[in-house]
Amino acid sequence: MFKTIGNTIRWIGQHFMGMLFLLIAFVVLMPSGTTQIKTANLQEIKLSGPILSAENILKEIKSAQNNKNIKGVLLNVDSPGGSVPPSIEIAYAIKELKTHKPVIAYASGTMASGSYYSSIYANKIIANPGAIIGSIGVIMESANIEELMHRLGVKTQIVKQGTYKEAGTPTREWTPQERKELETLTKDTYELFVSDVAKARGLKVEKAKIYADAHIFSAKRAKEAGLIDEIGVISKAKMNLIELAKIKKPEWKKKDKLESFVEKLTAKSIMQLHTYFYGLKATL
């Protein structure tokens, strides 16, 4: 009998990971008590974590745009920002989506820098009373590990063509010419950011020091600066969307459990990678 028990314990130990995977898959894929039978007419799209790529959210936006049953979209934002190009891609995708159906952007946590850029073309921006808004600015940074390399006895060898090919290198202090080149790049990006915000929000570029300049606002101050339209919780944002979409019987699109599970897992992984790896690039 003890031999049988021992074999059983040994078998469980050998197959534990497989059993755990099957258990997770069962929980994720198990159908909920109620199945969505009614056709969805509203959709929530989440923009969470650092913006490193726009690929997945652009697919969601395009899908919502092409779905004739979807009459309105809620963009739920909780992101500190990220890379410039994907932030702009999302902003212009929302701008295009708005020509087909109403879009409400809701700041559920942080709507700053690149994530604010992504939201500017929504019909309305509504922020949670405790949300952080703004940080309209651009940053480019890199560590200077020259002294560390010297202590370790490590030297770099470089062959290059182009005066500014080493601009931003972490292996030494930047030259005045390199710094000026990078400052020009960040200035151009900042001016584009401010210009788009001003156009989208009906603000004046010459007053950018008030609402831009990387100021970080509470929801109250963001409203005073003209960066958001209203302050309220998510139920208020949803009611605003229902009214704009002229929906009498709202039915929100539900994601299947596997999709939601993978999305959460991916967002967490991206956040961890962003924490450990930070290269030289213009970041909103």
Could you write out the three-class secondary structure of 184-209?
HHHHHHHHHHHHHHHHHHCCCHHHHH
Q: Burial of 158 by CB count in 10 Å (0-12 exposed, 13-18 middle, 19+ buried)? A: exposed
The yes-or-no answer on residue 48 being catalytic is no
The b/e string for 97-123 (b: 16+ C-beta within 10 A; e otherwise) is beeebbbbbbbbbbbbbbbbbbbbbbb
Which of 59, 165, 207, 264 is the catalytic position? 165
Distance separating alpha carbons of residues 4 and 9, to the nearest angstrom: 9
| Residue from 228, 252, 255 nearest 239 by CA | 252
**Is residue 113 annotated as a catalytic residue, yes or no?**
yes
Q: Are 241 and 74 in contact (CB under 8 A)?
A: yes
Give the integer Cα–Cα distance in Å for 244 and 247.
8
182-222: pLDDT as tens digits: 999 999 999 999 999 999 999 999 999 999 999 999 999 99
User: Please, are residues 94 and 75 in contact by the beta-carbon 8 Å criterion?
Assistant: yes
Name the residue ranges covered by the structural domains of the chain: 39-140+211-276
Best CA proximity match to 87, nearest among 133, 121, 43, 129: 121
pLDDT on residue 264: 54
pLDDT score, position 279: 44
Q: Flag whether pLDDT at 284 surpasses 90.
A: no
- Domain 39-140+211-276 superfamily per CATH: 2-enoyl-CoA Hydratase; Chain A, domain 1 (3.90.226.10)
Quote the DSSP letter at residue 73: E
Local structure of residue 138 (DSSP, 8 states)? -
**Cα–Cα distance measured from residue 136 to residue 145, given in angstroms and rounded to the nearest whole number:** 29
Catalytic residue among 113, 115, 119, 135: 113
Which pLDDT score, from 0 to 100, does residue 254 have?
87
Task: Estimate to the nearest angstrom the gap between the alpha carbon of 201 and the chain centroid.
Answer: 20
| 96 HSE (CA, 13 A, CB side) | 13
- pLDDT value for 38: 81
Q: Residues 85-119: pLDDT tens digits?
A: 999 999 999 999 999 999 999 999 999 999 999 99
Mean pLDDT, range 146-153, rounded to an integer: 94
Q: How far is CA 171 from the centre of its chain?
A: 31
Give the residue carrying structure tokens 């039978």: 37
Q: Where are the beta strands (DSSP E) in the chain?
A: 42-48, 72-79, 103-112, 124-127, 132-134, 216-218, 230-231
Q: How much is the pTM?
A: 0.79
Q: Are 53 and 86 in contact (CB under 8 A)?
A: yes
Closest to 45 (Cα-Cα) out of 59, 27, 33: 59
